[in-house]
Structure 1
């Protein structure tokens, strides 16, 4: 995964999110749910919507960064999420999930990514979809 940093944000790590692969504008992450993102117990347990939304946020950032990397020396700062839409299609059980993000557009200042979350054991059974708009933060002035 050339050029992309490993997942090291405290929230992503607590949720159990890890980067699996990145190919230009498509990123695949794995969610191995941590206790912090699980609601309920036993057969009634499910993943909290906020945990899934955080996965959408992180995966979209990786997709945008893979498609149009930050380059402060060239005036291209980091990507910031400006809009995130979340559609919960069904309850997500506390089991490993695949989070796939595709960068639909990545320009100089804006990017849009679509994200899908599905159980690893049943990849055709989407539990959540999202669309994220990102804006390029200004780079610090050059000295």
Structure 2
């Protein structure tokens, strides 16, 4: 069984994966560039894989997932919709994804530091998500 810090960090990593995939789903319909579309879908898949691993570990420990707050989801959705209504170019889509990566990196790093005594496997998942977000960010730069 995982300890309290491990469960808390695991829930945050899982919520980060959910937030990322929800943001990606919201932006994808606006992406017209095939290369950018494939890139975003690839990283959505990577986030899903990490999220599934989080889900498995939470289930094994009798814990439920943490969903991003409704208020946070609504704010994110409205902000993204407004930005894309004003400018739905591929560069704006890449910019929104890059901004999301930066937020995700900061958030997961903060929780990783807060729950520093978490199990190594859970810290490994947090590191994987941070690395995925960093790679995604760097891959988006040519599309800005």
TM over 0.5: no
Greater RCO structure (CA 8 Å; 6+ sep): 2
TM-score (norm 2): 0.30
Higher strand proportion:
1
TM norm structure 1 = 0.30
